[in-house]
Amino acid sequence: MQDRSLRIPSDDEIAAINARHLIETPLRPADLLFVFGTRVDVTERVEAAVRLWHNGLFRWSMVSGGVTPGDHRSECSIIKAAMVARGVPAERILEEHRAQNTGENVIFSLPVIDAALGRDSIKSVICLGNTWTARRYPMTLQRHWPEVEKMLVTVDTFATPRALWHTDPEFRRRVLSEWDKIEPYKANGFIADWPVS
């Protein structure tokens, strides 16, 4: 069976992905920055988190991510240490060290947030993750925590501009792979529609 992520998308599919998946939201100060764990483009994710902190765009951060093959440290440990080294106060960063996927990032982090801050005290969240995964971060949050306002910041190391993702073979493969997960994940109840119209 052919890997669908290797296809060349039509102009209509490119337009749909640009409009509905690679969403950019206006940013305003949020109660919480939710940093989804990764082993890819860690430096860019940390730099974005630090920039958001220094610009006064969040009061607390939740960093979530477990141990992955090749390292004994969790994604959370690696990302938090780098954020602290760049000036984000350690006591402002909540930790979750077990998650192995986006759903677990949210499911395992919610009790941590509730215990430390009280979920009801959090009214707005900025989701921070990879460009190609894009709206799946806030869609996952929407499924488990619909009442908070969600904003989205994404990062990557591709030299190709985001709007031209389809012209770079690896960027295209990553975007199409994530885009193809949206409907099955919705059907299985893993994610929920966001933004809500």
**4-154+163-187 topology per CATH:** Rossmann fold (3.40.50)
CB of 152 within 8 A of CB of 137? yes
**Span 7-52, pLDDT tens digits:** 999 999 999 999 999 998 999 999 999 999 998 899 999 999 999 9
CA–CA distance, 22 with 33 (Å, rounded to integer): 19
**Span 53-95, pLDDT tens digits:** 999 999 999 999 999 888 899 999 999 999 999 999 999 999 9
1, pLDDT greater than 70: no
* Partner residues linked to 130 by β-bridges: 155
Strands in 93-96's sheet, in edge-to-edge order, are 93-96, 58-64, 30-36, 124-130, 149-155
With tokens 């209509």, the residue in question is 12
What is the dihedral sign for C-alpha 158, 84, 56, 66? positive
Per DSSP, the chain holds a count of helices (H) and strands (E) of: 6, 5
Delimit the domains of the chain by residue range.
Answer: 4-154+163-187
CA–CA distance, 9 with 172 (Å, rounded to integer): 9
Examine residue 195 and say whether the peptide bond preceding it is cis (omega within 30 degrees of 0). Answer: yes
Mean pLDDT in the chain?
95
Cβ neighbours, 10 Å, residue 51: 12
pTM here is: 0.95
Q: What is the DSSP letter of 134?
A: T
162, pLDDT greater than 90: yes
Per-residue model confidence (pLDDT) at position 107 = 97
**With left for phi above 0 and alpha for psi between -120 and 50, is residue 151 left, alpha or beta?**
beta
CA–CA distance, 78 with 106 (Å, rounded to integer): 18
With tokens 């939710």, the residue in question is 34
**Span 53-64, pLDDT tens digits:** 999 999 999 999
Phi, psi values for residue 149, rounded to 5°: -70, 140
